[in-house]
Structure 1
Amino acid sequence: MQPARKKTFHGVTIGILMVKTTFERLPGDVGHAGTWDFPVQFRIVEEATPERMMALDSIDLVGAFTRAGLELAAGGVDGIATTCGFLALYQDRLAAALPVPVATSALLQAPMVSRLLPRGRRVGIMTFSRENLSAAHLAAVGVPADTPVVGMPADSAFRRSIKGEPVPAPVAVQRAEVLAAAGRLMREHPDVGAIVSECANLTPFSDDISRAFGVPVYDAVTLIEWFHAGLKPRAYLPPD
């Protein structure tokens, strides 16, 4: 048995590294505390602005995320997640650098989901920005390069809201845009049997997508709930 870790805060299993944003996060978003049925500990990575997260292929923020992750682990969390699926690019480096397990991106689920599907069906990916989700992001978490990917349009209210427009777009407008993007994915790739949403800001609309198109949807919330279930398994039997 490993010795008990010293902790500053207690009763928090999951720590979440947050991109430094100012937009309103909806219930269901990874960065909204009300999303979770268990307590989480947030930590903002000050250097990680949305603009810099879109450029991870050309800049290196591993140090910033490592420092923030070390602070969360020292404080007492048992596992670390993030609010940005583009951090798939850093999965191996952060897992190697931090003393607790790390789940950087909803994209980690794609290889497993592909194994669940009937013959002739494959995973499709929805992302915040198709132009910024590179083959390197996919390769970093074992996703085939030919996986269908659809992004939110650059001029969409959804993307403008996340980039910090003074007045966020109404939820109904964002929902309509997300469903339109999902519809484009399904039309262009009719063999898609499940969707993995890279972007943690898409998670409030996963139910809408699944009901509209009749496919399972996996996102950052399903990843972190699975992650938490292993870090803190449900107790069925009384202790000895």
Structure 2
Amino acid sequence: MANETDARLGILMLDTRFPRILGDVGHAGSWDFPVRYAVVPGATPEAIVCDDIDPFVQAFIAVGRDLIAEGCTGIATTCGFLALIRPRLAEALGVPVAASALEQAGQIAACLPPGQRVGILTISAATLSPAHLRAAGVPEGSPVVGMEGSGLARTILGNLPDLDVAQARAEMVQAAQQLVETHADVGAILLECTNMVPYAPDIAAATGRPVHSIHNYLNWFHSGLLPPRFG
């Protein structure tokens, strides 16, 4: 695989210390292509998910410009809640920006059979506002289940240095089962949080639904940054 100097995709990282396990967007081994990472200082998970994002917009733009200066031709982020500022990032940076897994929701919904909906799992349903969903183009009425009270949410939002992976996997499966049991018309599951990706296979196996995440979104996004193979 090519090294970081060949990266087309630049990823704006939150300021975190929790473990980035394989599958997480922040683990370089999660990708079959080179990526370049840069941390936005002070942009902790709690600040972005639970507080006001606006004070951090200029910091995201500044770090994004650094990535572009280093050769990146597309920018992504590591938090689904950043859908709220994607238009401002794209305008300021002048390159394609994929800010949130939620931005796939409309396309996923369009592929489902009539009568089925996209269901969303989020790290915090309490703070995933209608404004976030509108900014990402999530179809109105899409059911949402949050991870409030879970060990995974405590680790991510608390920015803790240790993660009980087995516990997180069980919590994610339980939340996904709750989603499809409460909303039988959910035909596909979308993971808002970039840290949920490692548990996607378990969720798919437990629910029998296709599972979408930032991982498949950025694989698609990255392919558009490369020269076409055919044509």
TM-score of the superposed pair, with normalisation by structure 1: 0.90
Distance 1:166 1:74, change over 3 A: closer
Secondary structure class of the residue paired with 2:178: helix
Superposed displacement of residue 165, structure 1: 3.2
Q: Contact 2:75 / 2:97 at 8 angstroms: preserved in 1?
A: yes
Superposed displacement of residue 142, structure 1: 1.4
Superposed displacement of residue 58, structure 1: 6.3
Task: Compare the two structures and name the one with the higher helix fraction.
Answer: 2
For the residues of structure 1 that align with 2:141 and 2:210, how far apart are their CA atoms?
A: 20
Superposed displacement of residue 74, structure 1: 1.0
Q: Contact 1:73 / 1:99 at 8 angstroms: preserved in 2?
A: no
Aligned pair 1:232/2:226, yes or no? yes
For the residues of structure 2 that align with 1:138 and 1:167, how far apart are their CA atoms?
A: 30
- The C-alpha deviation readout for 1:208-230, integer Å capped at 9, x for no partner, is 11111111111011110000111
Aligned pair 1:201/2:201, yes or no? no
* Residue in 1 that maps onto 2:123: 128
* Residue in 2 that maps onto 1:223: 217
- The C-alpha deviation readout for 1:63-111, integer Å capped at 9, x for no partner, is 1111111110111101000110000101111111112110000000000
Superposed displacement of residue 143, structure 1: 1.3
Secondary structure class of the residue paired with 1:130: coil
Aligned pair 1:213/2:207, yes or no? yes
* Residue in 2 that maps onto 1:183: 177
Distance 1:56 1:94, change over 3 A: farther
Q: Contact 2:80 / 2:192 at 8 angstroms: preserved in 1?
A: yes
Matched AA of 1:208 = D
For the residues of structure 1 that align with 2:190 and 2:216, how far apart are their CA atoms?
A: 10
Q: How does 1:66-85 map to 2 (within 5 A)?
A: 66-85=61-80
TM-score of the superposed pair, with normalisation by structure 2: 0.93
Q: How does 1:1-240 map to 2 (within 5 A)?
A: 10-57=5-52, 59-153=54-148, 155-162=149-156, 163-169=158-164, 171-233=165-227, 235-236=229-230
Matched AA of 1:64 = A
Secondary structure class of the residue paired with 2:202: helix
For the residues of structure 1 that align with 2:53 and 2:217, how far apart are their CA atoms?
A: 27
Gaps of 5+ in 1: 1-8
Aligned length: 227
Please give the root-mean-square deviation of Cα atoms over the aligned residues, in Å: 1.5
Secondary structure class of the residue paired with 1:54: helix
For the residues of structure 2 that align with 1:96 and 1:167, how far apart are their CA atoms?
A: 37
Percentage identity across aligned positions? 50
For the residues of structure 1 that align with 2:175 and 2:209, how far apart are their CA atoms?
A: 15
Superposed displacement of residue 234, structure 1: 5.2
Superposed displacement of residue 236, structure 1: 4.8
